[in-house]
Amino acid sequence: MDKIDWEEVARRIDSRDLPIIYMEDVHRYYIVGDIVVKALDGVSVKIYKGDFTAIMGPSGSGKSTLMNLVGCLDTPTSGKILIDGEDTRGLNETELAYIRNRKIGFVFQQFNLLGKITALENVMTPLLYTGGISAHERRERAEQALEKVGLADRMKHLPNELSGGQKQRVAIARALVTRPSIILADEPTGALDTKTGEQIMELFYSLNKEGNTIVVVTHNDEIGNACPNQIRIRDGKREA
Amino acid sequence: MVIQNIKLALGSMKGGKMRTVLSLLGIIIGVASVVTILTLGNSATGSITDSITSSGYDLIYLSPAFGSKTRETFDESFAERLRKNVDGIGLVMPTVSGNARVRNGSIVTSTSIMGVNSDYAANMDYKESYGSWFGVEDNIFKRQVVVLGSDIAEKLFPGGNAVGNYITIFRDQGKKYLVVAVMEAKDASLGASFNSTVYIPYNTYTQRFQRVSGVGTYIIKVAENHDPKVVNADATKYLDDLVGTDNYMIISSASLAEMVSSVTGTLSIFLAAIGGISLLVGGIGIMNIMLVSVAERTKEIGIRKALGASPRVIRGQFLTEAITLTSFGGVVGIVIGIGLSKIVANIAGWGFAVSVNACLLSVGFSMAIGIFFGLYPAAKAAKMDPIDSLNYE
Ligand SMILES: Nc1ncnc2c1ncn2[C@@H]1O[C@H](COP(=O)(O)OP(=O)(O)OP(=O)(O)O)[C@@H](O)[C@H]1O
Ligand SMILES: [Mg+2]
């Protein structure tokens, strides 16, 4: 195998010459009993650094499946996926966890905060798994991330002492704190009212302006169409 | 990371206090019983061997059997011959004993009576509370004097003032004996129940109470710098050759003490094994609670994995939780065990000696149980599929 010049790759990703997310003919099949569910059936995607992309499509079309594959929570049945230039084929659980920690920031519909620890501790958690970061630095970076999402005054609160919008802000701070290459948000406004949802989208826009690459899954055409780029999926395939 | 894991473990223990205690009950009971048993075993053995050796660790008791053959061997010159043939023989004190009825005024009682030499008390570490032990002359001239143990003195002279008064010994045709001393109370030890015995000079005894002469028991002190067990063994060999195994009995306080501690030791091991089994059962309880905990926290595991926790990290988290849990149970068990044995030792009047080994063993064992029974639940958590666990409701 040729030796990869990672500096060259990084430079080309920065200059949008290479995509930061590259999927080629990706299939993801589930076998349920004797039925094969083709959740993704030959999807190719290129997303570049600094993009703000909406993934749209009807329920069950395969949007979450796609996000999970990009986020290295799942592995494809076949096809090629490169994250930040790195081929994820054949990586083991530990290596996938490493990529999730360093390169991906997740935001979920149901927030998925750890309920027994404070907002600040929630945001510090990913840095714990990065390793080699002092407790002091973990705290400092988490505080910065919470300030960025406008929650400097809620750091010591437990998740159940926060509103839905505030919880989602904590989740976004947690996604940001590792300075990931890509932020993946699967219906981040799905559990919020319209106004709060708009505020969360505003936050994503401003984060994108600062250079973050963002992928958002949405049901909402209004939200999706407002995004600079769209990927439409139907029955596990891309729509033209 | 380890500190974080311990914090997490303590947090989840605090979150379910009742559950923590219930799941730890097996470990707590197991550790408490192991510590109690081993500690009490120590104390009991200590107190029994103490009483066996209360007159010294260096005593050997030699009792010839009855019969004309032995009477010839165990005569006045036997001590000299023994000393010549066996290394490490110190003082040899011949004693004779029997039972007799004694009387003071209207008080009559039956008791043991013992003929000993004038140096007996000093050599047995036996002290007078009134008067003083009879002297050499009393023995040579076979005088009618007695020394009373504390119990028999109390019985015959309820008002005190025994010294200077007379008691009657029926076996000697109702002759009167002058009480010259009353002794302090002393715990019964091997071959001697001090407090209820009436002591008279050895020669007085042989002349007045024995139809045929012969020593009852030789009390032999092992010479300094000699191992009582070795001397005992050497003496046994010599006597076997001299009179045959059946014609005497020999026992040393050292070997008896050793025998007692080996018996109580075996008993302790047996009881500790029962405690160990209860620890094992406790361990299964831990495995159960850990499996429940892993299942309940499926979502949490999914979230942590999404944030980049590797399987190893997840395994470490749950293993630490199991170990923290069982160690906590171990410490609680030790505290209860020590408290319990202190109470029992106080009631039984034994010296109290905490078995440090038992404590270390118990904590080590409960940690090992944490590792052993936590490994499977932790591995199960580590192997969970990230998406399935994230979607778990
Ligand atoms: N673990 C699984 N086992 C079997 N089938 C699955 C599994 N996960 C997803 N699927 C199927 O794959 C298809 C795509 O599911 P996916 O969750 O990606 O849809 P989606 O576009 O995210 O839908 P929604 O908008 O409702 O969230 C669906 O038909 C679903 O039933
Ligand atoms: Mg979905």
pLDDT on residue B210 = 81
- Please check whether residue A150 lies inside any domain of the structure: yes
- Please check whether residue A21 lies inside any domain of the structure: no
| CA-based nearest residue to A47, from A180, A205, A229, A177 | A229
**Angle A187-A193-A195 (CA atoms, 0-180°, nearest 5)?**
105
Residues that place a CB less than 5 A from ion ligand 2: A 64
Q: Is the pLDDT of residue B67 over 80?
A: no
> Across chain B, what does the average pLDDT equal?
86
- Please check whether residue A10 lies inside any domain of the structure: no
Half-sphere exposure of A127 (CA within 13 A, CB side): 23
| CA-based nearest residue to B19, from B297, B235, B381, B289 | B289
Could you list the beta-strand ranges (E) of A95-193: 104-107, 182-186
Q: Is A231 in the pocket of ligand 1 (CB under 6 A)?
A: no
Q: What length does chain B have?
A: 393
Q: Which of B4, B11, B15 sits opposite A128 (nearest CB)?
A: B4
Residue A233 CA: which ligand 1 atom is closest? Answer: 21
Strand partners for A54: A216, A230
A232/B163 Cα distance (integer angstroms): 118
Q: Which of A106, A114, A130 sits opposite B300 (nearest CB)?
A: A114
Instruction: Give per-residue pLDDT as tens, B236-281.
Output: 899 888 888 888 888 887 777 777 777 777 877 887 787 778 878 8
Q: Widest CA span of chain B, in angstroms? A: 106
Q: Which residues numbered 4-23 in B keep a CB inside 8 Å of some CB on A?
A: 4, 11-12, 15
Contact of A228 with A216, CB cutoff 8 Å: no
Flag whether the ipTM exceeds 0.90: yes
Q: Is the pLDDT of residue A1 over 70?
A: no
B221 touches A: beta carbon within 8 Å? no
- Please check whether residue A131 lies inside any domain of the structure: yes
- Please check whether residue A35 lies inside any domain of the structure: no
Range of the domain at A228: 49-75+91-238
Residue A62 CA: which ligand 1 atom is closest? Answer: 18
Read off the pLDDT band of B190 (50, 70, 90): low
B309 with A129: Cβ contact below 8 A: yes
Q: What is the CATH number of the domain that holds A212?
A: 3.40.50.300
> Across chain A, what does the average pLDDT equal?
94
- Please check whether residue A117 lies inside any domain of the structure: yes
Residue in A with minimal Cα distance to B317: A129
pTM for the full model? 0.72
Closest-approaching ligand to the CA atom of A218: 1
Estimate to the nearest angstrom the gap between the alpha carbon of A141 and the chain centroid.
19
Q: Is A30 in the pocket of ligand 1 (CB under 6 A)?
A: yes
Exposed (0-12), middle (13-18) or buried (19+): which is B329, by Cβ within 10 Å? buried
- Please check whether residue A19 lies inside any domain of the structure: no
Type of residue at B242: L
Number of domains in chain A: 1
Q: Which residues numbered 285-314 in B keep a CB inside 8 Å of some CB on A?
A: 299-300, 302-313
Mutate to test the pocket of ligand 1, among A27, A29, A63, A223 (most ligand atoms within 8 A of CB): A63
pLDDT on residue A163 = 95
- Please check whether residue A188 lies inside any domain of the structure: yes
